[in-house]
Amino acid sequence: MPAIYLQITIFNFFNGVKKPQYEVIFTWLFNFSLLVACAILITMESGKTLSKFILIYSSLRCIFSALALFFLNLKIQQHIENFLHTRCLPKKEYINYTIRGLPIALCLGGESFLFLMLSIISKNLSDSSLSAYQASLHFISIIYMISIGVGNATGIVAARYYTAMDIQSIIKTYTQGITLGLIILTPLLIGCFFLNEYISIIYTSDAPTRKLIENNIHISIPFLVFEFVYIVTRMTLRSMEDFWIPTLLTILILNIFGIVFSVSLLSLYDYTVQSIFLALVLCSFILMLFLLWRLKSISKKKTITTDQQNKLKTCTNKTRTEK
């Protein structure tokens, strides 16, 4: 976990200075190295266990994160002048970093807690329900990574415009992010609809469990769309320094309403794992609507404030010219 944290921090810096190719190279070198190491273990070792694969993964994470830190040390002076002579940051800056980072940490922690609770609920339904839930969640989490990637990219670009209070460019960037993401997601979601049987057989050959997985994947298609929109919207709001309202909305709707919807659907509609995925669709749709409303409200407010400031500057300059 510390290695992953270090990796995320380093490549967020490189993404911020318009060097996203470094993270792409790093990720695929890591994937290739992991593939080769696991292939060697499978070929050479007869008494292989899951623990050995986990050890390989963890070791490679640490090695690659150390290499990334070394690479950052070589490159950072190109982006921060006099980096070696920079004084230590004051305590106030560390406090600011903590305050600004806490909301997104709470969002991610809240989402993880939600899926933990849903796993416990699935376990109480049946063994096949838990297996189907975990397999379905694993598959949709792969597509979820697209939402995270596009959301982060949109937020980084939007933040550059926010420093200049260029609200129109922020909305344009947001629209481009949504459009790009939907272009990427559409063929994947079409594949989920038509190829769900092939997807389920990757995880298990048990017919009842496969049937549950296939149904879960179909139900998850709108969830993935709503989730994508609310993630990009939330990251855009963060780039506009709107931290706490989106965080509180996320925790309220996902963690509280999500559990309530799941229990209600299980009790009143269908006592299977499908009710859990229907609850995810419902709460993600509600969260998407609230965050869209929030973005519209903030954008309108910032636009009015910027226009007023521009008019005041124009009047002041005109008065000075007349004098």
Q: Do the Cβ atoms of 6 and 69 come closer than 8 Å? A: yes
* Residue 182: per-residue pLDDT: 94
**From the centroid of its chain, how far is CA 306?**
30
**From the centroid of its chain, how far is CA 256?**
20
* Residue 81: per-residue pLDDT: 66
Place of tokens 């007023």: 308
Token pair of 221, please?
């298609």
Name the maximum alpha-carbon separation found in the chain: 90
* Residue 301: per-residue pLDDT: 85
The reported pTM is 0.81
Q: How many other β-carbons are positioned within 10 Å of the β-carbon of residue 267?
A: 10
Token pair of 229, please?
């929109």
Full pLDDT tens readout for the chain, 323 residues = 888 888 888 888 888 788 888 988 999 999 999 999 999 888 887 777 888 899 999 999 999 999 999 998 888 877 776 655 555 667 777 788 788 788 888 888 888 888 888 888 888 887 788 888 899 999 999 998 899 889 988 998 898 888 888 889 999 999 999 999 999 999 999 999 999 999 999 998 888 899 999 999 999 999 999 999 999 999 999 999 888 999 999 999 998 999 999 999 988 888 888 899 999 999 999 999 999 999 999 988 877 776 566 665 666 665 666 55
List the one residue out of 290, 244, 19, 10 whose CA is nearest residue 153. Answer: 19
* Residue 320: per-residue pLDDT: 62
Specify burial of residue 282 (Cβ count, 10 A radius: 0-12, 13-18, 19+): buried
List the one residue out of 94, 208, 188 whose CA is nearest residue 141. Answer: 188
List the one residue out of 164, 159, 151, 143 whose CA is nearest residue 288. Answer: 151
List the one residue out of 217, 34, 230 whose CA is nearest residue 141. Answer: 217
Q: How far apart are CA 24 and CA 212, in angstroms?
A: 35
* Residue 247: per-residue pLDDT: 92
* Residue 50: per-residue pLDDT: 84
Place of tokens 């200075």: 17
CA atoms within 13 A on the CB side of 158: 30
